[in-house]
Amino acid sequence: LTFEVEGGGFSWFGDKPANKVLTAFGLKEFKDMKDVIFVDKDLIERTKMFLLNNQLADGSWEPDKNYLHHETWQNIQQSKLTTTAYILDALLENDKDIINNKKINLALNYLIKNTQNLKDIDNYTLSFIFSSFVNYLSNLSDYSKIENSFIDNFLRIKKEILKRLKGDGDGLYLEGPKVSLFYGDYNTSSIETTANVCISFTKLSKINLGKIRDNNEIEIAYKMIKYLMKNKSDSGLWYSTQPTIMSLKAIYLFDLLSTISNTNKKATLVINEKEKINIEFSKDDLAYKIIDITDYLKDGQNTIKVNGDNLFYDLVYYQYIKEPVLIYNNQKLLDINVSYDRTRVKENDRIKVNVKIINLSKRVLDMVVVDLGIPPGFSVITDNLDNLKKSGFIKNYELTYTQIIVYFDKIEKDIEFSYEIKANYPLKVNTRNYKVYEYYNPSNKIQKQGNILIVN
């Protein structure tokens, strides 16, 4: 709520102007949350009205020009169509009352009019158009009023999506563009696109209108779930915010509506060909079980087999590493250097910290985060950071006990800034690591080791 902009809508840092696409994502969040916790109805209504009041006369929504970096959007072929589909999808989702609003029909007609030539529309955009249509159908209580032109167009889009699916029985997916509306790369946009279509097919399986279904929707959704489960990052998430949330929604909705998920399941865990652990799920169990196999392992090589149908699993392990691991980005898009004007000081002295961020790419880097470790026994003098924020050089910064987190909305070229830290105690410390990365493209990251500081 602290990111709501005066006059309506939301932005990344709470300052004007609001961003319509980000506001639409927030609206989806509020609608989902209201089913499980209290959400002020006025918040939802004013967010909806902000979006509806920014609709153009032809039923569309234009991308926000202040966020429209050419490098970011050049791979989204029809950005106006993408923005319109995304916002309409958010307005229609989980909202049966809104379909009576004339502006919704105006937006639907815009999508129908601009989807006559599907070959020019990328998968990412097509997924939100398809989702908008499915959400519209889900909200209807009387199908007799649906025009044949809508049904025909819906079936054309569904057929096109099925034709574009890639993969096999172990997973179906749709390729996303090189960059998404939220600055995600090809990998994250493909996950978001697939999850979005998976949600639509799962919802479609429960719409009681024979004209639009061929009764294999849930099987297609299941194969997409397989793809999503296999494409998690090492952390167990899906790299970035939007693909993670959309994947979780896809899995949850499938689990809620699918008969595949509601059957009892059994599995056997075989460790080193001899130790067996039997696992059984009933439909009332939690969605996952954690099995600790530490005591079954031996020094050297171990083999682990999972035998069972319709079950997904992760193998998670931790190990102690004596030396800190440095992450060097093989994409070579970013670099960071941190230096101190002195490394030997007296108690209560100040040290000036100089930070240089190097943009090695040939494009604008969006939503960049710099994580600077605070040395133990030191405090941060925030005067210069406050001035950098006030001037707009940085969008925001946060302090924790161990780090300074600095936010940039974009970095076009190399930049430098500095701040001061104060030595509070006599000690010798190894300063914490520091790193820089794109928030929505976290694979573009570099982390380096800090220095030794001595306080007499």
Q: Give 328's contacts (C-beta < 8 A, 6+ positions apart).
A: 446, 447
pLDDT value for 74? 52
Residue 218: how many CB atoms within 10 A of its CB?
18
Amino acid at 389: K
- Please tell me the predicted confidence (pLDDT) of residue 181: 81
Q: What is the pTM of this model?
A: 0.85
Token pair of 330, please?
């093989």
Give the Cα separation of 226 and 260 in Å (integer): 13
Distance CA 339, CA 41 (A): 50
Q: What is the pLDDT of residue 70?
A: 46
Distance between CA atoms of 17 and 431, rounded to whole angstroms? 38
Element (H, E) at 219: helix 217-230
pLDDT at 154 (0 to 100): 95
Is 173 in a helix, a strand, or coil? strand
Q: What is the pLDDT of residue 247?
A: 95
- CA dihedral sign of residues 30, 35, 39, 41: positive
Cα 7 from chain centre: 26
Task: Kindly give the confidence (pLDDT) of every residue in the chain, 456 residues in length, as a single tens digit, with 9 standing for 90 and above.
Answer: 899 999 899 998 888 899 999 999 999 999 999 989 999 999 999 999 999 999 999 999 998 876 655 455 554 545 899 999 999 999 999 899 898 899 999 999 999 999 999 998 999 999 999 999 999 999 998 888 888 889 999 999 999 999 999 998 779 999 998 878 888 788 889 999 999 999 999 999 999 888 898 889 999 999 999 999 989 887 788 988 899 999 999 998 998 887 666 667 788 999 999 889 998 877 666 667 888 999 999 999 999 998 887 677 778 887 776 655 566 566 678 899 999 999 999 999 999 999 999 999 888 888 999 999 999 999 999 999 999 999 999 999 999 999 999 999 999 999 999 999 999 999 999 888 899 998 888 778 898 888 899 999
What residues have CB less than 8 Å from 124, skipping those under 6 apart?
76, 82, 176, 177, 180, 181, 189, 192, 193
Nearest to 357 by CA among 442, 419, 449, 446: 446
Give Cα separations from 137 to 95, 156, 159, 356, 438 (angstroms).
11, 16, 17, 52, 37
**Phi-psi category of residue 428: left, alpha or beta, with phi > 0 → left and psi -120 to 50 → alpha:** beta
**CA–CA separation, 23 vs 455, rounded Å?**
48
Half-sphere exposure of 402 (CA within 13 A, CB side): 6
